[in-house]
Structure 1
Amino acid sequence: MRSDFDAAQLVTQIQAWGRELALSQIGVAGVDLSSAEPGLAAWIDAGYHGDMDYMARHGMKRARPAELVPGTLSVITARLDYLPRDTPDDWQNTELQRLQRPAEAVVSLYARGRDYHKVLRARLQKLAERIEAAIGPLGHRVFTDSAPVLETELAQRSGLGWRGKHTLILHRQGGSLFFLGEIYVNMALPPTAPVSAHCGGCSACIGACPTQAILGPQRLDARRCISYLTIEHAGPIPEALRPLMGNRIYGCDDCQLVCPWNKYAQRTPLPDFDPRDGLAGASLVELFGWTEAEFLQRTEGSPIRRIGHTRWLRNIAVAMGNALRQGNEPGIREALAARSDHPDAVVKDAVAWATEQRIPHH
């Protein structure tokens, strides 16, 4: 590695290259995250990570970049906006209205296009190659939600935003609809300055959470979070939480939909995140009818694929039960009956539960 480069100038250059690669923002963080360790330890001790055993297994390695990748001296952080290119200005209302149509399947905004892991990783890899071309061999490793990396802590320290009360990173000019990625590098770069928090007295996200998973500012019990339940959690969804899930079948955007800062959410210039046919506005019955082969074909290159067909059916069955609780019948009982003897126990349980649902009598 050349020793004659000006580190501060290099950071400015990396930010310019990042913009050329359609990355919305680039920051730099140091590797001493020790002040974040007590909070991480307390969160894991409380069991808030649920089935995400890897969180506990990696322990404090998450907060120690130089233990995860020996030789790391700095972390380059990146944000990539994902609001689709042709999103209308009143998109927050459009999305909230979907939740009022019980027979419609709601997939989280970020998951309607191409798998962000692939999109962001490829761009970060290109950025690392540009740095290498400029300064010589560089020890580096690229991460996009792919290892025990304390992403929000690194993003916050490097000025990509502040940590909102819902625990997501918020940016004054970009809201929270962006992905985070990192490049761990073996050279010391001057860190970019953090920004101050601007949530003030607002707690819209806490009040909006359908399952009350946000216990207080920056305190999330993942075991109650619909994103966790529909994506990370493998077994049956706890029965008490099922009616609260409504028609959300993959992820949940509620805390972001009500956040005032998201009126500044930026459209992505990339076609990758355009919604795929059939993932916005589809009916529960239609998606529940997909065979495994159809599921795999239609979710190719999509983040949804990683949950597999059985979890997909489990999620939709719960949503169908919730539609029946709202009095929405067309085709739903027939669709459930067709899968009532599904070989997977978790799907079978969800279908049986859904079939029993009626409009509650008050």
Structure 2
Amino acid sequence: MSNKRQYTDLIKSEADRLGFLSCGISKAEFLEEEAPRLEQWLKQNAHGEMRYMENHFEKRLDPTKLVEGSKSVISLLYNYFPEEIQRQDSYKVSKYAYGRDYHHVIKAKLKDFMQTLNDEIGEVHGRAFVDSAPVLEKAWAAKSGLGWVGKHSNLLTKQTGSFYFIAELIIDLELDYDTPVTDHCGSCTKCIDACPTDAIYEPYKVDGSKCISYFTIELKDDLPKGYENQFEDWMFGCDICQDVCPWNRFSKPHNEPLFNPHPELLTKDKKDWEEITKDVFNEIFRKSAVKRTKYEGLKRNINYIKGKSEN
């Protein structure tokens, strides 16, 4: 058996051992198809105030510029679909933020992963990424056969859906490479029809600056007038385009204890959220990604949805 095959088998079985849904591998090379798309998206200012998207253009498209000597991009999916969701009469938090901040949970697994590679193979150089560097993770995951990018611009996988995180290891080993799968969105437009702010302005194209997730998480200023009645009670993030996607009927609950929510997240109603104190916020979201918006940001979002925006 060649080293390439042996190392590839080791990587796939290690991904399985660490609890990843799946693992796909691509050659580390320039993402030719993505270059004009990213350029166009930035030109249209679809990233709004997410100015960091303008940085490191070359590194986003070429992993060998991001990680010197890299030969392979290992893409990994990690399930976060919850067993229970919030009550109906509540302001809503995106499911990915129910439990412990995924950056920390998955980073720890990737560290473990790299350690195993070094123990089993010898010195393997590379870096681990979880949504924290200029890596076009959906493009890499699609290139390595883990799914296709749907009309809502999220990665979709048959029999699994889209409620998962994507992570990467970019390393200096040559491996056996996977091939992309075909698109299975067909003529379905449920995500486009359901988006209340028209952020998905045409199939496969999303204006990030109109997305509820952008407004409630990324935007640091006052929320713009005119969207007050379109948030559909989302106070942090938004899952609408994923919730309506037929492929997500296959989503199965995760088995990651660290992603289990604080019990109060599931039991609070709107009135409770409107009256939330800073102490309670810190208790419920102590180690959650919701801390990104801070207590003041969450209050701003709730007041806006209630129509009490002071803009």
Q: Same fold (TM over 0.5)?
A: yes
Q: CA deviation at 1:166?
A: 0.2
Equivalent-residue separation in structure 2 for 1:110 and 1:247 (angstroms) = 16
Counterpart CA distance in 2 for 1:14 and 1:58 is 29
Match of 1:155 among 141, 144, 161: 141
> Secondary structure at the residue paired with 2:265?
coil
Decide which of 266, 284, 305 is 1:298's aligned counterpart: 284
- Residue of 20, 35, 40 corresponding to 2:17: 20
TM-score by length of 1: 0.82
Which residue of structure 1 lines up, in the alignment, with residue 35 of structure 2? 37
Unaligned runs of 5+ in 1: 322-335, 337-349, 354-362
Q: Take 2:51 and 2:25, find their aligned partners in 1: how far apart are those partners?
A: 29
Q: Between Structure 1 and Structure 2, how many residues are aligned?
A: 310
Q: Output one character per residue of 1:128-184: Cα deviation in whole Å (capped at 9) or x when no partner.
A: 111111110111111000011101000000111000000000000210010000011
Q: Is the 8 A contact 1:24 1:79 kept in 2?
A: yes
Q: How far 1:281 moved relative to its partner?
A: 4.4
AA aligned to 2:28 is V
Match 2:67 to one of 36, 54, 69: 69
User: 1:339: which partner in 2?
Assistant: none
Q: What CA deviation, in whole Å up to 9, does each residue of 1:86-120 have, x standing for no partner?
A: 34xxx7xxx7x83xx4xx21111111111111111
Query: Distance in 2 between the 1:58 and 1:243 partners?
Result: 36
- Which residue number corresponds to residue 309 of structure 1? 295
**8 Å contact from structure 1 (residues 34, 64) kept in 2:** no
The separation in 2 between residues aligned to 1:294 and 1:281, in whole angstroms, is 13
**Conserved 8 A contact 2:265-2:284:** no
2:221 aligns to what SS in structure 1? Answer: coil
* Unaligned residue ranges in structure 2 (runs of 5+): none
Partner of 2:228: 242
Contact 2:196 2:230 in 1 (8 A): yes
2:255 to 250, 269, 279: 269
1:114-125 residue pairs with structure 2 within 5 A? 114-125=100-111
- Indicate if the aligned counterparts of 1:76 and 1:182 stay in contact, CA closer than 8 A: yes
> Are 1:183 and 2:181 matched, yes or no?
no
Percent of aligned positions that are identical: 35
For residue 5 of structure 1, report the CA deviation from its aligned partner. 5.9
Aligned pairs for 1:1-362 (under 5 A) are 6-32=3-29, 33-84=31-82, 86-87=83-84, 98=88, 101=89, 104-321=90-307, 350=309, 352=310
Cα deviations by residue, 1:69-90 (Å, 9 ceiling, x for unpaired): 2221111110001112x34xxx
In the alignment, residue 261 of structure 1 is paired with which amino acid?
Answer: W
Query: What letter matches 2:265 in structure 1?
Result: L
Say which one has the larger Rg: 1
1:213-249 CA deviation, whole Å, 9 max, x = no partner?
A: 0011110001110011101111111111222113110
Match of 1:344 in 2: none
1:10 aligned counterpart, secondary structure = helix
- For the aligned residues, what is the CA RMSD? 1.8
Measure how far apart 1:271 and its partner are.
Answer: 1.3
- Which letter does structure 2 place at the counterpart of 1:187? L
Distance in 2 (CA, whole Å) between partners of 1:60 and 1:278 is 44
Q: Which amino acid aligns with 2:188?
A: C
Give 2:292's aligned amino acid.
R
